[in-house]
Amino acid sequence: MEDQAGQRDYDLLVVGGGSGGLACAKEAAQLGRKVAVVDYVEPSPQGTRWGLGGTCVNVGCIPKKLMHQAALLGGLIQDAPNYGWEVAQPVPHDWRKMAEAVQNHVKSLNWGHRVQLQDRKVKYFNIKASFVDEHTVCGVAKGGKEILLSADHIIIATGGRPRYPTHIEGALEYGITSDDIFWLKESPGKTLVVGASYVALECAGFLTGIGLDTTIMMRSIPLRGFDQQMSSMVIEHMASHGTRFLRGCAPSRVRRLPDGQLQVTWEDSTTGKEDTGTFDTVLWAIGRVPDTRSLNLEKAGVDTSPDTQKILVDSREATSVPHIYAIGDVVEGRPELTPTAIMAGRLLVQRLFGGSSDLMDYDNVPTTVFTPLEYGCVGLSEEEAVARHGQEHVEVYHAHYKPLEFTVAGRDASQCYVKMVCLREPPQLVLGLHFLGPNAGEVTQGFALGIKCGASYAQVMRTVGIHPTCSEEVVKLRISKRSGLDPTVTGC
């Protein structure tokens, strides 16, 4: 609260203790400012709760990548006999053991964040905050005591939560989301994943990979917003490796049967017919909504999008109220990615307290979808490049390739593919890179630097590859889609 002299409690108050919020708080503390973080996790409809660190640490990137790794190990165990290892097949997977190990790691990260805030003398409040006015938030502590906190600058970094299809009977009562899957004590068993977002595909991918009967129900296109050729190949690979797909279908009802199983009713849009199936678990992965509802933003005068309820900001991350800022997934038109929230937060704090004028650049942000065959990309999709520059001004170089590790193992490499989207005019500026294959994140991260620096196709072709790697396929792209030639790489 303000004292009589008009002093406020803090130089900076951060609402939200996820990746972006914590990055802001730590950066401001390092610059000698008095900082507080308020964070509160509303339990999921199924009662799942977690600690400090936000979506990425608790119910996103970290547990997802670890469970993806568990699934990849299953594939390597199947490869092992071809490399001379005598492994009795099949090897059973223990969900409980994996989940406990993953959850323990996440809890260690929660603790680490608490310690880091303490070390930097950042005050942490585990309260559900809402605005009282444009400089003040209030919340209720565990004992029921109301706490008022005021600050010169406020950063909103509350992120988002999974969307529930509340219009579907039984969706809320019987379904789970990514907020729950990583914290299940017992195996989810036979699972229906509804949606075709990256969350849907990643979860279905690792569930299939650890040996569970998994079906994806998708109403329309997969990976909306991503390159659609690459997205189709991701789906093809998953379908040929055990994940079932119900395409053009939308669920209408979920009921619990006397034996505890869930009966799902859906409609097939192509035939117009209704169908049913039984599953142990139904996982909704149909998008996310910003966590703004309980903030009372109108009390502070902060404008949100009427369509998405996300917060509107300018290029400096400032909201409609000059000293209130917002970063990360809660903001309209920003990539929903941990590293962008972290970088945007740090740059914002450096502008506020460090004399900097550097703005966050949201172009050419790399990302990877951790499906069984990983898809990494940076820059424009082929569709975006054509829409922006016109078909006649775009050149696409591409290749199918076979990772060396797949040869001895006898693995199918039909979907291992790379393409580079360029301007046709020399020196052919690289507009986008798309890589489908093992370790796509590692490959894409390296090339992202070159593309950020304005690399041309000519420069990429003059880069010497590291042999034998999948990454080198990028610097060997000689065949243009326009040529109509077979883009299959035979190796050396």
Q: Is 201 among the annotated ligand-binding positions? A: yes
- Per cent of the chain over pLDDT 70 is 98
Q: What type of residue sits at position 173?
A: E
CB 171 within 8 A of CB 284: yes
The pLDDT of residue 143 is 84
Domains and CATH numbers, the chain: 10-162+289-354 (3.50.50.60), 163-286 (3.50.50.60), 373-481 (3.30.390.30)
4 pLDDT higher than 50: no
Q: Is 196 among the annotated ligand-binding positions? A: yes
CB 291 within 8 A of CB 158: yes
The pLDDT of residue 144 is 87
pTM (predicted TM-score): 0.97
Q: What angle do CA 381, 378, 158 make, to 5 degrees?
A: 105
Query: Quick one: pLDDT band at residue 3, thresholds 50, 70, 90?
Result: very low
206 pLDDT higher than 60: yes
The pLDDT of residue 26 is 98
- Residue of 118, 122, 134, 126 whose CA lies nearest to 8: 134
In angstroms, rounded to a whole number, what is the distance separating the alpha carbons of residues 467 and 472?
7
Average pLDDT over residues 20-30: 98
In angstroms, rounded to a whole number, what is the distance separating the alpha carbons of residues 419 and 229?
10
Q: Is 65 among the annotated ligand-binding positions? A: yes
Greatest Cα-to-Cα distance within the chain, rounded to the nearest angstrom: 78
Q: Is 197 among the annotated ligand-binding positions? A: yes
The pLDDT of residue 491 is 62
CB 198 within 8 A of CB 300: no
Average pLDDT over residues 108-122: 98
Tokens 């898809």, located at residue: 375
The pLDDT of residue 492 is 58
92 pLDDT higher than 60: yes
pLDDT tens digits along 247-258: 999 999 999 999
Average pLDDT over residues 133-142: 94
Find the catalytic residue in 93, 398, 434, 467: 467
pLDDT tens digits along 351-408: 999 999 999 999 999 999 999 999 999 999 999 999 999 999 999 999 999 999 999 9
Q: Is 275 among the annotated ligand-binding positions? A: no
Q: Is 287 among the annotated ligand-binding positions? A: yes
pLDDT tens digits along 275-322: 999 999 999 999 999 999 999 999 999 999 999 999 999 999 999 999
Q: Is 329 among the annotated ligand-binding positions? A: yes
Pairing state between β 244-247 and 214-218 = parallel
The pLDDT of residue 225 is 96
Average pLDDT over residues 405-419: 98
Question: CA 425, 450, 433, 492 torsion: positive or negative?
Answer: positive
The pLDDT of residue 1 is 54
The pLDDT of residue 490 is 65
Helical ranges in 368-409 per DSSP H: 382-389, 404-409
Q: Is 169 among the annotated ligand-binding positions? A: no
Average pLDDT over residues 186-198: 98
274 pLDDT higher than 70: yes
Q: Is 383 among the annotated ligand-binding positions? A: no
- Residue of 131, 172, 177 whose CA lies nearest to 154: 131
Query: Quick one: pLDDT band at residue 142, thresholds 50, 70, 90?
Result: confident
SS3 assignment for 108-172: HHHHHHHHHHHHCCCEEECCCCEEEECCEEEEECCCCCEEEEEEEEEEECCCEEECCCCCCECHH
Task: Say whether 323 is catalytic.
Answer: no
467 pLDDT higher than 90: yes
